Chain A
């Protein structure tokens, strides 16, 4: 019972340990590959060794005859079986659509594209038989670099895009920007390469499909961040399976980072094959397959021009970006380098004008799509790297240059020149706090002293903004999205007052089973153990758009809040009826409905719940039961922000960069669980740091992926990273009633330029102004060598 000393919201904002952890730390998590149904068969794919080739012949006879083999299918079999191409979920004006088949027909366009699938009794026998599939190819010339692909005469990826340009997209005011740049005192120009990355969630993608011919029901267990979206696209567009006969379950998912948003060929094949065979069919990616077929991230080449007046105030930004899309359009690919990138190019600064042009280019490489941050890290890198180059060119301290150009605290909501309206913000305190934590002035003094001893220290700053809470459906609809981006939540109160919440958000590490329960328990004034969160199953959750774009707290959480409000409202009416009071006179607090002014006249939430189901005495016109469903469509994005600062030391003899300290001050609005917020930041910072220093996907000229294993591609290990020092400022978002902004991608967005800037700051005594990432020892050493040679 609530007393005066009990806080009414003990859980929101508290460090609550996670409820989902128990199953994971005891080995009882249930990931897709952990599930085996009676009679399960196993798939192995035969994949193209060529980046571009014509398939002249496929001989599957020997494989079909091999021990334990149930079937061998090719692209032609799927096409004949009525399987359509995999569509794209975001269509831009004048965009060239590509025909993407789950299994290639006639032509392969990247190394690793599926050309056949073998289904057998065990994964071992499937693999044995896959080796027996004989495919003849006629190799064709390939192009992997997007800039090269735009040149006349380059090999063509899809015939309907003869120059390989899939779309040309612009945003902002070209004339105004040109004029501002012409009249500027200083224009900083730089070409920046944002290298291609491979996501590498530690759980490989997997799919297990099972068809029951007696009920005509198809069930798919899949490593997905958004099972409803999978069902919609696969059911309605690819397979022609009615949604009410198709259940998609995303059980525990071992990390996504974007890569598990999209509909992939293998899941389509599993769904189709189980209907042919009448037996469950399972496929789990080998890591090599993950490298070749999980959608890659980033891969931009950008020419940036940033104009300043004589006092160092920003006047304009002009950006021209070539974005590599890979061989096919993955689900959200067109949106990433456009609406999630171009619109973020204002950053935290008061640019009077901006103009950005983006060419989306097809190449003979793995498709590129959203990877943690998705467009926003690319935008932040352009701004923050250029800011540092500008600071050096202008002779202004990089912290000071940023502070001078921040959107002023009093000007929110703030309309940028690139379409977005920032909800709330206060940028200087986060910068100041970060500088204070790192000891900025003291470090600069130490840096000076170290340089005199031939040691090279550097400090890098990155002030970022993130757009979270994807997204107002009408807005995204008008911009080309083929779906709305609202979220749903059903709150079901059981007769005993226990609560089950069905959310369309999906957790693959974010801890929703805890944060959403904290939210609901506090709002209902009940114990957290009385709340259960259900997600990831189209058979149980009405509908939902899933988790990406740091949307779950702000959008999914708000949908829960709305349903709880409805529950409370109905509960109030029932309580008033039971208490013989007017509903206006009944208030709800601490899990209890009571009459204003006479607190001992009340009913607990559980009593009211029971009354709702007994329905022996209900207010007139009120239906029995107590549950509510809400769909929340946000009115705007939310805009978290902050400043990260990193210090490094560079060894000039080997080029090795050591990260000394990393400080992050973030403003993610109101916080439900600080432990989880910090955890999201840590992981994001690790990924962003890895882009700055180690990770890079490399294709050779012929289109072979040279970094196709964890022996070649440097996913960071524990001994490559420091402890992270985090702090927060809190500027609630006015967009949603919870004041939440979101945190899923902040660490990744901010950290890449912070680390890169630190390294380039360390290298400034050599006169080195910019190096493209990753800033590997060899890259750094070579730059020092040629700088020293130049004298």
Chain B
């Protein structure tokens, strides 16, 4: 409940933030919404000497559309994602997932950048990032670089970000017509983090699934694409049988975690059920809402 002492910095720009990171090196931590970091500080599991608050850097916040892509600033809160008219129209999977993070108060402070940078294996947004094929922009003393979602999540609480880099924005291409996405979550009864989360993005060509990107979080040490499910869907008819058969592969290649809520076998069963639900709804959206929502151009 009582964190160890630290010094607080509130830089006005990304450059200033990077300068502070460079100065204090391993003694410093970026602070965004604080909803992953502060709980750790309160338990004294982490004791950084300098906190660099990036929440007030104006350029880091907001959702906008730029050249056929949706660009989300790193310090955009979950609540803003949840309510963004642009996202609700173009990319409803993201507000849908954001609306299921923690609780209302958590969503009012927690940020997408903090969530991705923290890379909690039970976090929701990483799965969505994988399914929509997001790209992250990281800025450091050596300049800016782009990291694809698949390369971003390295392992438990580990990302491809260097310790002196700031995640500044997330870019997602506006989905093609005929694409639908959905996120299905099974929350931990107490913490509300995802015991299972499945993000599905499906593009239809007629009745067949032309392309499917499925990602799963919560069950392994890091979120990952469910390639076997994707393979079992691609090119096949978008019907219940195909979906059920494909969903049974959701945990293939993942060392599924068990915990106090239940053993790995059960977690796998829940993942299969939620994969089927997510794909089914993604297909429904691809047939209707999302297609009409996307711009025709």
Contact = CB atoms under 8 A, between A and B. Distances in A.
Direct A/B contact, Cβ within 8 angstroms: yes
A184 interface: no
Contacts of B5: 124, 128
Contacts of B190: 710-715
B9 to A, nearest CB: 20
B191 A711 contact: yes
A419 interface: no
B274 to A, nearest CB: 8
Contacts of A778: 261-263, 266
A737 to B, nearest CB: 46
A655 interface: yes
B4 A698 contact: no
Contacts of A706: 260
Interface in B2-20: 2-5
Contact of B260 (A123, A128, A707, A720): A707
Contacts of A131: 44
Nearest to A284: B1
List the 9 closest A-B pairs by CB distance, nearest first. Answer: A778-B262, A711-B191, A714-B189, A127-B2, A778-B266, A714-B190, A286-B1, A124-B2, A653-B273
Interface residues of A, number: 28
B269 A654 contact: yes
Contact of B266 (A286, A698, A781): A781
Interface in A674-718: 694, 698, 706-707, 710-715
A484 interface: no
A412 B134 CA distance: 74
Interface string B234-274: 00000000000000000000000000111101100110010
Interface of A: 123-124, 127-128, 131, 286, 288, 653-655, 694, 698, 706-707, 710-715, 720, 776-779, 781-782, 785
17 contacts: A123-B1, A127-B44, A128-B5, A131-B44, A286-B1, A288-B43, A653-B269, A653-B273, A655-B266, A694-B189, A698-B260, A711-B188, A711-B190, A715-B190, A777-B266, A778-B261, A782-B265
A198 B2 CA distance: 23
B263 A782 contact: yes
Nearest to B261: A778
A124 B3 CA distance: 7
Interface in B203-237: none
Nearest to B262: A778
Interface in B157-208: 186, 188-191
Contacts of A286: 1
Contacts of B188: 711
Given A653-B273, A711-B190, A781-B269, A776 B261 contact: yes
Contacts of A779: 262
A384 to B, nearest CB: 24
Contacts of A698: 260
B295 to A, nearest CB: 36
A713 B3 CA distance: 23
Secondary structure of the A contact surface, majority rule: loop
Most chain B CB atoms below 10 A, which of A288, A654, A713, A720:
A654
A764 B164 CA distance: 59
Given A127-B2, A776-B261, 12 more contacts: A123-B2, A127-B44, A654-B270, A655-B266, A707-B260, A711-B188, A714-B190, A776-B262, A777-B261, A778-B266, A781-B262, A785-B265
A777 B267 CA distance: 10
Contacts, number: 57
B4 to A, nearest CB: 7
A122 to B, nearest CB: 9
Nearest to B44: A131
Interface of B: 1-5, 43-44, 186, 188-191, 260-263, 265-266, 269-270, 273
Most chain A CB atoms below 10 A, which of B5, B186, B190:
B190
A413 B265 CA distance: 54
B271 to A, nearest CB: 10
Contact of A782 (B4, B261, B266): B266
Contacts of B260: 698, 706-707, 712
B99 to A, nearest CB: 13
B139 to A, nearest CB: 33
A707 B188 CA distance: 13
Nearest to B3: A124
Contact of B191 (A123, A712, A781, A785): A712
A785 B270 CA distance: 13
A711 B39 CA distance: 11
Contacts of B44: 127, 131
Contacts of A128: 2, 4-5
Contacts of A655: 266
Nearest to B192: A717
A615 B265 CA distance: 83
B270 to A, nearest CB: 5
A651 to B, nearest CB: 8
Contacts of B1: 123, 127, 286
Nearest to B47: A131
A197 B260 CA distance: 15
Nearest to B186: A654
A131 B2 CA distance: 12
Contacts of B191: 711-712
A62 to B, nearest CB: 15
A407 B270 CA distance: 46
Contacts of A288: 43
Nearest to B1: A286
A653 B248 CA distance: 12
Contacts of A776: 189, 261-262
Contacts of B269: 653-654, 781
A245 B5 CA distance: 41
B248 to A, nearest CB: 12
Contacts of A714: 189-190
B45 to A, nearest CB: 12
Contacts of B262: 776-779, 781-782
B223 to A, nearest CB: 19
B207 to A, nearest CB: 26
Contacts of B265: 782, 785
Nearest to A122: B2
A654 B272 CA distance: 9
A655 B266 CA distance: 9
A286 to B, nearest CB: 5
Nearest to B196: A654
Nearest to A778: B262
A698 B190 CA distance: 14
A309 B270 CA distance: 45
Contacts of B43: 288
A123 B5 CA distance: 13
Contacts of B263: 778, 782
Contacts of A713: 190
Given A286-B1, A777-B266, A782-B263, A654 B273 contact: yes
Nearest to A694: B189
A714 B190 CA distance: 4
A415 B29 CA distance: 70
A778 B186 CA distance: 12
A711 B195 CA distance: 12
A615 B169 CA distance: 84
B41 to A, nearest CB: 12
A777 B4 contact: no
Nearest to A706: B260
A715 B44 CA distance: 24
A613 B61 CA distance: 72
A720 B189 contact: yes
A713 B188 CA distance: 10
Nearest to A204: B1
Given A714-B190, A715-B190, A720-B189, A777 B2 contact: no
Contacts of A654: 186, 269-270, 273
A101 B188 CA distance: 38
B243 to A, nearest CB: 14
Contacts of A694: 189
B278 to A, nearest CB: 14
